[in-house]
Amino acid sequence: MLFSKQAPRENLIVRGARVLDPAAGVDDVIDVRVDDGMIAELGSRLDPNAHRVVEGEGLVLAPAFVDPHVHLRSPGREDEETIASGTAAAAAGGYAAILAMPNTDPVVDSGSVLGSLVDEARARAEIPVGFLAAITKGQGGEELTEMVELAEAGAAGFTDDGRPIVAPGLMRRALQYGAVTGRTLAVHCEEPTLSRGGQMHEGAVSAELGFAGYPSVAESVMVERDLSLAAYERRPVHVMHVSARESVEKLRAARDAGVAASAEVTPHHLCLTDEAVRSLDSNLKMNPPLRSSDDRGALVEALRDGTIEAVATDHAPHARHEKEVPFEAAPFGVTGLETAFAALYTNLVEPGLLRLETLLERMSAGPAGIFGLPAPRISVGEHANVVLLDLGASRRVEEADFRSRSANSWLLGQKLKGKVRLTVAAGRVVFEG
Amino acid sequence: MAEIRVMRDDLLPPASTERRHLLSISDLSRDDIERLLATARSFARSLEREMKKLPTLRGRTVVNMFYESSTRTSASFELAAKRLSADTMSIKASGSSVDKGESLKDTALTLGAYDPDVIVIRHPQIGAAQFVARVTKAHVVNAGDGKHQHPTQALLDLYTLHEEFGRLEGLHVAIVGDVLHSRVARSLIQALALVEARVTLVAPPPLLPRGIEAMGCETSTEIESIKAADVVYVLRMQQERMQAGANYVPSLREYTARWGVTPERIRPGQRIMHPGPMNRGVEIDPRVADAADALIETQVRAGLVTRMAVLYDLLTTGPVGVKVQTLHEVA
């Protein structure tokens, strides 16, 4: 389900780092030896044995990150992102695997479109990438795609991301039929007659700025509907980019009742509120929108207690000229692959809102589990998927440093703590910074 | 103080060290408002003279960019600049390169290349004035951006109220109608809050934005509540937003029956204001619009001196709003 270019695997020793793999219960200052891309030995003062040595003293070595929600804009908008540039950006962000959304042009709704993406990934992807296919043809919300064929062609899951599945009957059919593929169904929850025209969260800030509101209830009524359908069909469902407290509450109740629901949340929803929109900066416009501080608090709490098990960037590159317009005319979406860890470390871990161990788990094993991907592990016999983090280092987010083809980041100019020094994905060093 | 400076015919504006804009009432302090109103009053006196033109902004250039239709705002900005001896250029969206698909950024950069001192912009999108302020070197005046702000309208309304009542603090203003889609209402609520006047918004529930009370106003859905106010400020019912199926109100007919401002619904002595253009017989009964207590024409006259004061203030005196964030991708 994951594809990347073939390249020689590394022989490597990371020496003296704090090795922190919360899922494996490891937290120790030790050396890690990688032979031919596989983790071969953990221990003190390992013999370099002609391996390349990476000094890790004072740094944290953790399982590399997994992003379940990325827009690679290919095919159709290669000016904004390509498989090569998007996976390079992911490598710089500490990721060892990402999943790309199918809302491209054309939509990934047939074996042939998916096949061409798989070929492209095998030729150019810097890190393993998987592709979600559309649930409905053309993401039109009317006819199911040939899900079995798509799964056989390598689809990692199914979604109509960017659009909701409006008709409840169709959503039910997708849950029923999707079962034969064994893949996860991921839903973008938005009731379109409630969100229509909405530019930002509906509340005191939208009232003052004059923007048409996109109320939190537009999300939560669809979350509730999809959880009800998933419960009725006894099928798992993954709720993407949760933004509202009410949605969190529905999720928590459904999981308590035994529904196999999973959920993800973005760094921007965890760090910002609708107050930020007062700047009218178009890099603060995304769907779902930034919500109130009460919603943000609920999201942080849900990430902490596991109601939401994954951080997803919803990395959404946009061409410069399309964002350099008044807020109201700008498209929805911001980038995030290259800044996710530092943004969350700076805004949640440093102030004591989230433990580092929890963040690492929610950026790696959590998202991997949702889509049945192998979770990166730091233990002997595993493929080397690791990230070396310098928690003490800070840097200013600059456009010139991005590997993404787009720079519509909400963090431009900000100083962030927590720097990725090295990323090893599938046994290959893919980033050094 | 301002009067003396304005009356001096040899006055030349000092070089400004900081680029200032008027983008939103929320950027202003009460002192800013009082200074602007005092300047406007001194201009009103100067306009009573036979020779109405002042040399104050001689050699300055004011560009008007109007992306939406406008009568009074565009006319009064143009006349205000001319009364102060500035050179003016007016660009309308239709008939310009905007018709050919030119972006707002490129149009602003093109006009900016002529080094205008002030760009006055009206645009249908929220944030357009802030955007132009980011990409050009001119002082920018927001003449209306979507449903967001129309700060010079609020200033001329305060000027009108002060002329009529001799004070602003403690006045009670009822704003009636389509608050949801009104930039006039947003600017006016903020301006009245700054001068410590009391504001009650009166509208059908779907036209009252959720959370608007945080701006420091009361809300009501009952038209009877306008009776308690000193001033009834009637908003235009924007017919283009009231098409069948939009369902903000079932029909204009029902709106008029329930919320129209009629002689029976006001009390004697209440002053009536309206930002124009009016829909007589919809939000306002013609008898109310034409009554002696209506200040609607006074508002139009106030527009000229208030906009003169804004242009003068931006190019000469203390800080008007400067809360423009840097857009990093703009070099």
ipTM, 2 dp: 0.88
Measured CA to CA in angstroms, residue B171 lies from A61, A356, A388, B36, B213 at distances of 65, 55, 64, 19, 18
Q: What is the pLDDT of residue B92?
A: 85
Residue A228, pLDDT score: 98
Give the Cβ contact number of residue A374 at 10 Å: 17
Residue B198 touches chain A, beta carbons under 8 Å: no
CB contact under 8 A, A412 and B149: no
Check whether residue B189 and residue B79 sit in a common domain: no
Q: Per-residue pLDDT for chain B (331 aa), expressed as one digit of tens each?
A: 333 333 333 333 444 445 689 999 999 999 999 999 999 999 999 888 888 889 999 999 999 999 998 888 999 999 999 999 999 999 887 777 777 778 999 999 999 999 999 999 999 999 999 999 999 999 999 999 999 999 999 999 999 999 999 999 999 999 999 999 999 999 999 999 999 999 999 999 999 999 999 999 999 999 999 999 999 999 999 877 677 777 899 989 999 999 999 999 999 999 999 999 999 999 999 999 999 888 999 999 999 999 999 999 999 864 433 334 333 333 2
Q: Within this chain, do residues B145 and B192 fall inside the same structural domain, yes or no?
A: no
DSSP 8-state secondary structure symbol assigned to residue B221: S
Could you list the residue range(s) of the whole structural domain that residue B311 is in?
2-150+300-316
Tell whether B133 and B20 lie within a shared domain: yes
Q: What is the residue type of A151?
A: A
* pLDDT greater than 60 at residue A222: yes
- Check B327 against A328: CB less than 8 A apart: no
B194 and B58 within one domain = no
Q: Residue A402 is encoded by which pair of tokens?
A: 């991005």
Using an 8 Å Cβ cutoff, are B236 and B277 in contact? yes
Q: What is the model's pLDDT at position A392?
A: 97
Q: What DSSP character marks residue A347? A: I
Whole-angstrom distance, CA of residue A426 vs CA of residue A252 = 34
Domain assignment of residue B324, yes or no: no
pLDDT at A191 (0 to 100): 98
Residue of B nearest to A412 (CA): B328
Q: Residue B296, Cα to own-chain centre: how many angstroms?
A: 14
What's the rounded Cα separation, in Å, for the pair A344 and A303?
12
Does B116 share its domain with B203? no
Looking at residue B292, its pLDDT comes to 84
- DSSP state string for A227-244: HHHHHHHT--EEE-S---
Record: contact B328-A209, CB cut-off 8 A: no
Q: Which of A204, A329, A407 is opposite residue B125, by nearest beta carbon?
A: A329
Full set of structural domains in chain A with CATH: 64-375 (3.20.20.140)
Shared domain check, B187 and B276: yes
**Same structural domain, B128 and B66:** yes
Q: Name the nearest CA neighbour of A331 among A77, A136, A75.
A: A77
Q: How far is A409 from chain B (nearest CA, A)?
A: 10
B131 touches chain A (CB under 8 A): yes
Enumerate residues 11 to 70 of chain B having a beta carbon within 8 A of any beta carbon in chain A. 26
Are both B19 and B98 inside the same structural domain? yes
In this complex, which of A204, A212, A281 lies closest to B325 when CB atoms are compared? A281
What are the structure tokens assigned to B229, written together?
Answer: 């106010």
The Cα–Cα gap between B111 and A305 comes to 55
Q: Can you give the pTM of this predicted structure?
A: 0.92
Query: How far is it, in rounded angstroms, from Cα B283 to Cα B270?
Result: 17
Mean pLDDT of A72-86: 97
Looking up tokens 């922190």 gives A20
Torsion of CA A363, A367, A372, A377, to 10 degrees: 10
**pLDDT computed for residue B51 by the predictor:** 84
Closest by CA to B328, choosing from A254, A293, A397, is: A397
The reported pLDDT for the residue numbered B242 is 73
**A277-299 tens-digit pLDDT:** 999 999 999 999 999 999 999 99
* Nearest C-alpha neighbor of A342 from the set A410, A400, A429, A292: A410
Domain count within chain B: 2
State the smallest CA–CA distance between residue A207 and chain B in angstroms: 5
Residue B331 lies in a domain: no
Please indicate, yes or no, if residue B232 is contained in any of the structural domains.
yes
Check CB contact under 8 Å for B329 and A325.
Answer: no
Considering the domain architecture, whether residues B54 and B143 belong to the same structural domain is answered as yes
CB contact set of A193 (below 8 Å; sequence gap of 6+): none
Q: B245 and B157 in one domain?
A: yes
Q: CB–CB of A210 and B128 under 8 A?
A: no
**A325/B214 Cβ within 8 A:** no
Residue B163: inside a domain: yes
**Main-chain phi, psi angles of A394, to 5 degrees:** -125, 160
Q: Which of B147, B148, B150, B271 is catalytic?
A: B150
Q: What is the pLDDT of residues A225-277, one digit of tens each?
A: 999 999 999 999 999 999 999 999 999 999 999 999 999 999 999 999 999 99
- Check if B100 is active-site: yes
Burial A394-412 (b: 16+ CB within 10 A, else e): ebebeeeebbbbbbbbbbb
**Do residue B114 and residue B45 come from a single domain?**
yes
Catalytic residue among A226, A314, A390, A401: A314
**Nearest one of A110, A125, A76, A150 to A317, comparing CA atoms:** A76
On whether residue B321 sits in a domain, the answer given is no
Question: Is residue B21 assigned to a domain?
Answer: yes
Q: Measure B107 CA to nearest chain A CA, in Å.
A: 12
Which CATH number fits the domain that encloses residue B195?
3.40.50.1370
Residue-by-residue DSSP string for A264-304:
EE-HHHHH--GGGGGG--GGG--SSPP--HHHHHHHHHHHH
Residue B322 domain-assigned (yes or no) = no
Chain B nearest CA to A285, separation (Å): 12
pLDDT reading at A87 higher than 90: yes
Tell me which residue in A210, A281, A325 faces B147 most closely, judged by beta carbons: A210
- Whether B326 is covered by a domain: the verdict is no
Cβ distance A328 to B186 less than 8 Å, yes or no, reads no
> Do B72 and B112 sit in the same domain of this protein?
yes
